[in-house]
Structure 1
Amino acid sequence: MLKHCLILSILLFSLSLSAQTPKDSTVVMQDSTKSDLLLKQIGNGFFPTQFWNFDLRYLVKFNQYEGLRTGLGGVTNAGFSETYRIDSYVVYGFKDHRFKYKIGGGARLNEDTKTWLNFSYTDDLEETGSSKFLTDARFFSFFEPRLLNIDLFHKHITSALSLEHQITPNLTTETQLAVSNIRPTYSYNYVLDDKAYDAFETSTAKVSLQWSPFNTYDYKDDNLVETYSGYPKFSLQYTKSFKSVFDADFNFSKIDFRTIHKITHKNTSYTTGVLSLGLAHGDTPITHLYHAYPNNINKETILNRFSVAGINSFETMFFNEFFSDRFTSLVAKHYFKPFAIAKHFNPQLVLISRFAIGNMNHISRHQNLSFGTLKHGYTETGLEINKLLLGFGLSLTYRYGAYHLPEFNDNIALKFTFNITL
């Protein structure tokens, strides 16, 4: 593994050196006048060079298991090729003392339908209970607050082959075949047919759809570009795990659905809503089940739990407190018009309400982990005052209802918020 990482590091370094060598002084002068484009690309999480776009997501991160995680990664751009791409990274965790990496790439099969055939080999960590859509748009944040507090990860070595295809500009799909070797980093056994699995293999097929029926597009320089992002947007994904295919251990299936809506009001305030549903059926280990994106540290006092609020996470729900094989969550936010106090001081008030409900069959199969279910419905509400100083603000959230805790202070989450745009 170390050998592969060193090779990948040399490749990335070589590309960066060649990319930073200008052809002539005219190119340098032209590049110097494109600061606005560069700023936009950095805002999307890339630092572009001649052949290689460095992915800023891999530079510096922190979590409870790896501690400081740092590395290099990125993807080739049109300067390298318009029909082929390399998409790889290598990172190192200073707390677990382990390299992680991905070696991947793709070939474009059709330009008009943006059809790409991709392959990847990944040796990394994944948060237990998380669920991602293949078709999700790339997400980049200079600061990922929830990541700081996550401690429940599983190792996975995954070989994957995927096909991206745009049926229409408003409907995109991605299909993936993957084989994974999974090792939880925590004490866990999944008991099935009198056998306890502390590690396992999966062979999965995924089909993901992203439908944005109210987006509008227009041609610019012979390229179809999005001119308006409309709402609602819909995502649907089906996952099937096949037992005994490439020595896989379990048969299970999953259906995930999400819709995002935004209503803009006349006074420039707006309201957003995110509805998420997940259903897992069959012999499903905890790694592939659902949490409700908790973001509260398991510490005693409010100040000890003081951290940074996430975007759609449940701020008063403790990490690893609940898991479900079927769940629904709804996050609603109302953003008031920013207060025009001064030229560079425009704080914004946001009202928030979150709800989640779920349950689980065969809880006894999951051993060495203690958790509850959401069968009675989890509720919290709160507010944020954003952009008070250098993008930072404050968040206050209160937990109430069926899962209200006996100690009053345990139901309160006081945190920073962080919002910055380029």
Structure 2
Amino acid sequence: MATISYGQEPKLKKQDSTQRAQDSIKKADFLKNIGNGFLPFNYFNADLRYLIKFNQYEGIRTGLGGETNDKFSKRFRINSYIVYGFRDKNLKYKIGGGFRINETTSTWINLAYTDDLQETGSSNFLTDKRFFTFFEPRLLNIDLFHRHITKSISAEHKFTKNLVSELQLAVSKIDPTYQYNFVLDDNSFQNYDLSIAKLSLQWSPFDTYRKGKNDVIETKEGYPKFTLQLTQGFKSVFGSDFNFSKLDFRTVHQFNHINESFTNITLVAGIAGGETPITHLYHAYPNNIRKETILQRFSVAGLNSFETMYFNEFFSDKFSTLQLKHTFRRFKITERFRPQLVLISRYALGDMNSIDRHEGISFNTLNNLYSESGFEINKLLLGFGLSFAYRYGGYHLPNLEDNIAFKFTFNISI
């Protein structure tokens, strides 16, 4: 009679279990990278943000970019990209990298040389986490860009897990792609040089973390969050033309309700003083194109933009916006068809001193309260939905149709 031994079976089961756990970790890491906009390779992660985009100035914008990962080095990194615009027929690129000087405080020194376009009136926080979406809704209709050639050095530092900072020193050559003159005393500037220092702080006091195998992992995102950024332009430093200051602030709070619905409140404010050209002032995140009918203006709704505010309609040297969103629990019509209703109200207020300094471009100010309200019905089909917004209050327009924005939305999660 043959003898059958089961002596090795527990070991095989243990090996199988370990292999499954490793495969699960690899799959989770892969999905995390894809969700952040990276396609991981052995020593290099391709950046999906640069594959293809579209805007009114460049037309189709396509290229390649990426950054080295921990397999390449945990102390050094390289991040660069190169893109081409088919309408403006110009290459844009960035060459950058960094080195870590302290692992505990995640302190990095970064260097970069960038030759690219930036939307006029846009304002970003250095400490913002990387944000990726398959396409950027507002970008499709933006036509007001300025070219910048920027050399920068920056330092990232975590004071605590909940308080992160970044300091950046940069020199830039600014060249608006549109007709614009910045008039200062008896001088008129069509292009100019800037030397700028920025300090950004982000405080998330209610986020919670746990110690992972190689790093600290966020386990719960808490609210409220606060971000503060100081900007100072220095005249005559490295040939800079202007002296100006900016202060930007943002706070986000979210109330989670027991029925799986939640309410989100976002307050953003900024003030600029001194000799600030329009390239470095503020718009209020408009997302409406100037066409005659509602259907001609049908496009993609943004995530945090004013859907009834027309592009280049308002600029400010001081402004504040308040956005209120209430997201209901998804309606379970069938197992697969589960749309979601979101109620939205947005408000903006601002002002502009020395408007006569800005020649060649016409715009309004936000001295009165700008108001719009509406709703979204998301995830109707393959991540697509519909949105409706109505403009009222101090900037209500005489023609009823001009106050209405009807668009589709796109929301997808990985």
TM-score range, shorter chain: over 0.9
Of 31-40 and 107-116, the range deviating more from structure 2: 31-40
Percent identical residues: 65
SS in 1 for 2:143: coil
User: Matched residues in 1 for 2:83 and 2:283: separation?
Assistant: 26
SS in 1 for 2:238: helix
Structure with max Cα Rg: 2
**1:106 paired residue number:** 98
**CA shift for structure 1 position 396:** 0.3
The runs of at least 4 consecutive aligned structure 1 residues that moved more than 3 Å come to 30-36
Whether 1:296 and 2:264 are equivalent positions in the alignment is: no
**CA shift for structure 1 position 33:** 8.5
Q: Deviations over 1:109-160 (max 9, x none)?
A: 0000000000000000000000000000000001211110100000000000
**CA shift for structure 1 position 39:** 2.3
User: Matched residues in 2 for 1:118 and 1:240: separation?
Assistant: 20
Amino acid at match of 1:197: F
User: Matched residues in 2 for 1:331 and 1:105: separation?
Assistant: 36
User: Matched residues in 2 for 1:79 and 1:357: separation?
Assistant: 48
**2:302 paired residue number:** 310
**CA shift for structure 1 position 178:** 0.1
SS in 2 for 1:246: coil
Matches within 5 A, 1:317-396: 317-396=309-388
Structure 1: runs of 5+ lacking an equivalent: 1-26
Amino acid at match of 1:264: N
User: Matched residues in 2 for 1:224 and 1:289: separation?
Assistant: 37
User: Matched residues in 1 for 2:54 and 2:202: separation?
Assistant: 30
Structure 2: runs of 5+ lacking an equivalent: 1-18
**CA shift for structure 1 position 43:** 1.3
User: Matched residues in 2 for 1:299 and 1:231: separation?
Assistant: 39
**2:85 paired residue number:** 93
User: Matched residues in 1 for 2:226 and 2:323: separation?
Assistant: 15
User: Matched residues in 1 for 2:25 and 2:182: separation?
Assistant: 58
**1:245 paired residue number:** 237
**1:266 paired residue number:** 258
Whether 1:166 and 2:191 are equivalent positions in the alignment is: no
User: Matched residues in 1 for 2:69 and 2:341: separation?
Assistant: 40
Whether 1:153 and 2:145 are equivalent positions in the alignment is: yes
**CA shift for structure 1 position 229:** 0.6
Whether 1:410 and 2:402 are equivalent positions in the alignment is: yes
Among candidates 217, 227, 246, match of residue 254 of structure 1: 246
SS in 2 for 1:34: helix
Amino acid at match of 1:369: I
Q: Deviations over 1:44-95 (max 9, x none)?
A: 1000111101110001100000000000101100111110000100000000
Whether 1:233 and 2:225 are equivalent positions in the alignment is: yes
SS in 1 for 2:33: helix
SS in 2 for 1:81: coil
SS in 1 for 2:140: helix
Q: Deviations over 1:196-219 (max 9, x none)?
A: 101000000000000000011111
User: Matched residues in 1 for 2:46 and 2:220: separation?
Assistant: 28
Whether 1:62 and 2:54 are equivalent positions in the alignment is: yes
Amino acid at match of 2:52: V
**CA shift for structure 1 position 31:** 7.3
**CA shift for structure 1 position 261:** 0.7
Amino acid at match of 2:199: V
Matches within 5 A, 1:36-47: 36-47=28-39
User: Matched residues in 2 for 1:223 and 1:409: separation?
Assistant: 53
**2:72 paired residue number:** 80
Among candidates 206, 211, 220, match of residue 212 of structure 2: 220
Amino acid at match of 1:191: V
User: Matched residues in 1 for 2:215 and 2:275: separation?
Assistant: 46
User: Matched residues in 2 for 1:400 and 1:60: separation?
Assistant: 36
Amino acid at match of 1:137: K
User: Matched residues in 2 for 1:158 and 1:243: separation?
Assistant: 16
User: Matched residues in 2 for 1:55 and 1:31: separation?
Assistant: 23
**CA shift for structure 1 position 40:** 2.4
Instruction: State the TM-score, normalized to the length of structure 2.
Output: 0.94
SS in 2 for 1:57: helix
User: Matched residues in 1 for 2:113 and 2:206: separation?
Assistant: 36
**Number of aligned positions between the proteins:** 394
Instruction: State the TM-score, normalized to the length of structure 1.
Output: 0.92
**CA shift for structure 1 position 35:** 3.5
